[in-house]
Every structure is written in structure tokens, then in C-alpha cells.
Chains A and B, each alone.
Chain A
Amino acid sequence: MTSPLLKVTDLHVNFISRWPNEPSVDVLRGVCFELNRGERVALVGESGAGKSLLATSIIQLFDSSARIRQGEVVFEGQQLTQLNPKQLRKIRGRRIGMVFQDPMTNLNPSLTLEQQLLECILSHRRISRAEARLVALHKLRQVHIPAPEARLQQYPHQLSAGQRQRATIAMALALEPTLIIADEPTSALDVTMQAEVMSLLTHLCHSNGVALLWITHDLSLVAHASDRCLIMYAGQIVEQGPTTALINDAQHPYTQGLIKALPQMSKPGQSLFQIPGQMPVVEELGHHCAFAKRCEFAHEVCWQEAPSMPQDSGHQASCHLLTASQTLAGAKP
């Protein structure tokens, strides 16, 4: 079996507190998953679960006082956590591309598309400006932006929202990376645009053999477009597995709740299902199952120790009830 493209092991990320006496609490708590070449993986979770933090942790793009306390991130055989900033920079953009949520606030408003694309390309490749321009044009065509020569001279505010996001996708693909991390790329778009951009991104990744880590809060969005699915809750991955298997036969109570909560899953006239309660804040987390408070199947053991994390790439969930199935006749996780 070939080694995975990206392997994250026991990742713990915390924030350095501004008050010296306050102990810092982990926000990402032991995240483990793998990603293979060309695979499309969806990372699903509520806001606050730590999805974006996980994405930025992989390329170590912390903008506040977050840091990796413990754990490994191995990409293409390299330990990313042990690289110095210069080496990291070589990987960012070139080997791992990123697409962020809101293209309007992410593109530099005072640079034209050409300037931004060329800056990105020329930072990594020693080619002439003219060649880089050809690459940029090629990528813009790939994302189906009409009249790319004209578009290159335009500023971001002169493009429509959909075109802007396509432009950022073009930027991410420009250097032909092996992995693209897309952090809620369609959340800032309206519904019609969402479908288009989504199919574009997944199609491009598929045809170019680029692995895709798609972060979203909407499970229904990625049901058809991903090979595997990771469900994230309170800084941990509580269930992971092939998407169809996960949706058809969810193991973790949280995943089951998420699926039940999808509007498509409720009958007309029936009130929509909601998982009661809210995700625990950082201070409430401890050595117990983070979902216990909201779980309808919670037992004593759930409050006493944390369930084991899924380790390999089969269909696994972290729930006590799975491991103790013989003692809980009739309970159904």
C-alpha cells in the first residue's frame, strides 16, 4: 500500500494565553487522519469545531497565538512540523494550495488579477513574466472564466462573486499542487453559484489528480462530491470513513444527529430535527467524551473517560458504545 499523501497524527493545537498564569487549553485535541493521492475528503463540522484551525495548522499559517503543541503532520514524506519557515514557504502554494471562503476579502483589492496571479507563480518558478502570464491565462480558462485576457487587467471588485472565487481557485491550481485545502469555498456564494463552483473544483481536482480536503459545515453539500468524510466535533475527529458508508450507516451519535437534521431527511409537515444543546466551549472540555452532554445514548463511562480515536482509514467512530456493544443490548449506536 502506498504511503498516504498527507498523514496527521495526534495533532494538538493550543493558543498561547495572554495572561501568564492561565494554563492553555488545547483547541485541537489529538486529530488523526490520512489523505491519499487524488482523494477527495470532506471535513464536516459545526462552527467552532476547529475545522479552519486544522486547515491552517497543516500549513502552519497561524495568524494569532496558536501553535502546535504536539503531533505530526507528514506531507509527501516530509515532517511539516519540523521545517523552518523558508522550507514551509516552498511547500505552500507549490505543493499545497488553499482556497479560502470569501473571495472579496481575500483578494488584494488594489492589485489586478494579473499582478496577483503572477506574483504567486513567480514566487515559486523561475520563468519569465510572459511565460507566467501564459500559465495564468491557461488556468483562468480551466476555471471557465470568459475572456481571460481582459479579466487579467481587472481588479477584484470588477468581477462577479462567482468569478472571483473561480479566480482564487485558478490561483490555487496555478502551481499544480498535489493537495488543495478548500476552507468553505462556497459558503459566501449564492446557491446557484455554489453548485457550479463546487462541481468545478471537484472536477478539476479529479482530472488533474489533485487531492482535495474540502472543509464545510454542510454535510449535504459534500455527500456526492467526496470519497471519504471526516466528522469533526470539539477539536476532535469523531468519525471517519468512506462517504457512502458514513451516511448510510453512521456510527457516532453526532453524525447520526447531523444526518437526521438534514432537511431532506424529514418528512413534509414534520418539524426539523435539531441536536439539542451547543458545542462545549474550550473550558468545559476534559477527560471525557465531548459529546456526552448532548448525546441521547450517554452512559456513565462516557463521562469518565474519553473514547479512543479512530486511527486508520476504514470506517471508524470514537464512541464508547461501539467498543462496549456487548454490555448494552438494545442500545443502538
Chain B
Amino acid sequence: MNYLPQLTQRLLTGSITIMLAACVSYWILSLISPNHAAAISLDQYLNQLLHGDFGQSQFYHLPNLDLILEKLPATFELVIITSLIVALLALPLGLYTAIEPQQRVARAVMAFSLLGISLPMFLTGTLMVYLFAVQLNWLPAFGRGEIVWLGSWPSGLFTVSGWQHIVMPATAVSLTLLPLFLRLIRAELIQVMHSNPVRLAQAMGITPWRIWLRYGLRNATLPMITMASLQFGTLMAYTMVAETLFQWPGVGSLFMQGIIRGDGPLIAAYLVLVSIMFLLFNSLTDLAYGLFNPHLAPWRQHTPFIGQDTP
């Protein structure tokens, strides 16, 4: 397939976006640390960025890029584990509540998902810390635990204490997204089950399991990708809150500390890197869409799904 024109267009819009983000970050630098901004002009700043120099932190006196890259693995692992929890729980639970809505367990799950939307992540986090750390003393309240170096990547996933430390933050954040995905999968499955192709399949005597998997889950995948891309920003936001609450040493808490200290260069560098990250993620989801590319139009109505970009 001819991807070239699409690819060049993406690269072009991407570069312009990052350029704009860099200009904005320069402006913000001038707001927070005016003397730093006065020492360097806009084109010098942009030039430095192009060469990979993201400036130096006012507080730490170390290159911003190094500081951020040092903390990035922690945030990355937290995000990965959170997403895994959501994916591993939402699919089976969504399937189950769609198939057997009347069962007690299914109703409990639905009631819980309703509660989950109203539960602020920091309240769950606080409760978890109080219960498991202060009262029961089962899990640690802050930090990352022991880490193991895989090349230059510090990972906390290979030690018991690492897992003990990541359990609470990841669960707290996943509980904000889980109800959403659960309801989405359930709604999609129910909608599919009332569609004409499913009726024909049932008239042909195809077993329910095949129908659920082949017709149901298959058609739920695209809206899941859409939802995931819409929720990415929210996931980032809550990861930041979690990092503050659990004192998780990631880029989010680095940013918040920079804010409190008024560390302009660090904040500016963080903004540019966040823009790059969002851009990459968007391209990834577009790619995933392209891979799937199913012909699903006939049985999808595009009614706006309430609760689409929410906590």
C-alpha cells in the first residue's frame, strides 16, 4: 500500500507540533525563570533542542534530559502495569456482565463500576495506604522498592519488594479506568448481540461462545482502541497524582517538585518531552487503527458515548 504521502504528512504535522510546543515552552520559561530566558534567545533555544540539549535544571544543576530519562523508567513501568491490570480485568469482566447480566456477581460488578466512576483516585489511594500500610502493615506506603538494572534500564519488576511497591499505585490508577472500559465492552457486546448478523448466526445454530468471540469481541476491539487513545491523557494525569501520593520517583513527581521550586528550565524541558510523547502515542494508535481496518460501518451508530474522556 502506498503509505509514503501519509507518512510524510504525519512527519510534517508532527514536526510543526513539536516546534510549536518548543516555542510555548520557551515562553513558559520566560514566565517562571525570567533570567534564564533572558540569557538565551528563542532561536538559540530551538537550536539547542534540535541538537538534543534540553537545558540544565536550576535546582539540580544537571542536564534536564538526564534527569527526566532517569525517572522515566519508573513512570513507564507504572503505566504499563496499570494498563495490564485494566486490560486483564476489563475484558473478562465485560464479557461476563454482558453474557449473564442477571447473576449476582455480574450485578455486583456493575454496581462496583458505578461506584468506581465516583471514587476519586486519590481517595482510593489514600484509603489503600491507610488500610494496607498504616493499619495492616502489609505493603509499603511509598517509594519504588529494590530495582534491578537491565542494561541502563532500572526495573522494579524483578524483585519482590519492587512488586510490593507497585501494587498499590497501579491498582489505584487502574480503578479509575477499569469501570470505563468495563462499561464500554459491555455496551458494545450488548449492542452487537442485538444486531442482524448475530441473529442470522443464531438462526444458523452457531454456538453462543463462537458468536460472543467472533462477532462480539471482534467488534469491541476498535472502540476499545479509540477509548484507550482518548484516555491516555487521563492516564498520564492520574499517574502524576499517584506519583505524588505514593512518592513514586517518576517524571510526574519530578515535574511537581519543579513546580514547587520554580525550576523553569526543568519545566520547559518536561513540556517539550511530554509533547513528543503524546505525538508518538497518537501515531501508535493510528497505526493500530490502520492494522485493524475492519468494515464495521453497517452496525455502528456513532452516538457520543457519555463518559468518554473522564476520570
Contact = CB atoms under 8 A, between A and B. Distances in A.
Contact of A94 (B200, B205, B219): B205
Nearest to A157: B295
Interface stretch (A31-39, A116-124, A281-289): A116-124
A107 B297 contact: no
Given A89-B205, A89-B207, A61 B199 contact: yes
Contacts of B201: 108, 119
B219 A123 contact: no
A108 B218 CA distance: 11
A152 B29 CA distance: 62
B interface, over-half SS: helix
Contacts of A22: none
A297 to B, nearest CB: 40
Nearest to B206: A123
B298 A104 contact: yes
B142 interface: no
Contacts of A108: 197, 201, 215
B296 interface: yes
Contact of A109 (B202, B204, B207, B297): B297
B205 A92 contact: yes
Contacts of A110: 218-219, 294-296
Contacts of B204: 92-93, 97-98, 119-120, 123, 171
Nearest to A55: B203
Interface size class of A (residues with CB under 8 A): 20 to 34
Interface size class of B (residues with CB under 8 A): 20 to 34
Contact of B210 (A94, A119, A155, A171): A119
16 contacts: A59-B203, A63-B194, A89-B206, A92-B203, A92-B205, A93-B205, A98-B204, A102-B196, A105-B299, A109-B295, A109-B297, A119-B210, A119-B214, A123-B206, A123-B207, A168-B200
B159 to A, nearest CB: 44
Contacts, number: 76
A106 to B, nearest CB: 5
A161 interface: no
Interface of A: 59, 61, 63, 89-94, 97-98, 100, 102, 104-111, 119-120, 123-124, 155, 157, 168, 171
B290 to A, nearest CB: 15
Contact of B196 (A106, A120, A123): A106
Contacts of A61: 199, 202-203
B197 A106 contact: yes
Contacts of B203: 59, 61, 92-93, 97-98, 100
Contacts of B294: 109-110
Q: Which of B201, B205, B295 has the largest number of chain A CB atoms within 10 A? A: B205
B211 to A, nearest CB: 10
B206 A120 contact: yes
Contacts of B296: 109-110
A168 B218 CA distance: 22
A168 B203 CA distance: 12
B107 to A, nearest CB: 17
A188 B65 CA distance: 64
- Give the top 8 A-B pairs by smallest Cβ distance, nearest first: A93-B205, A92-B205, A93-B204, A98-B203, A108-B197, A110-B294, A105-B196, A109-B295
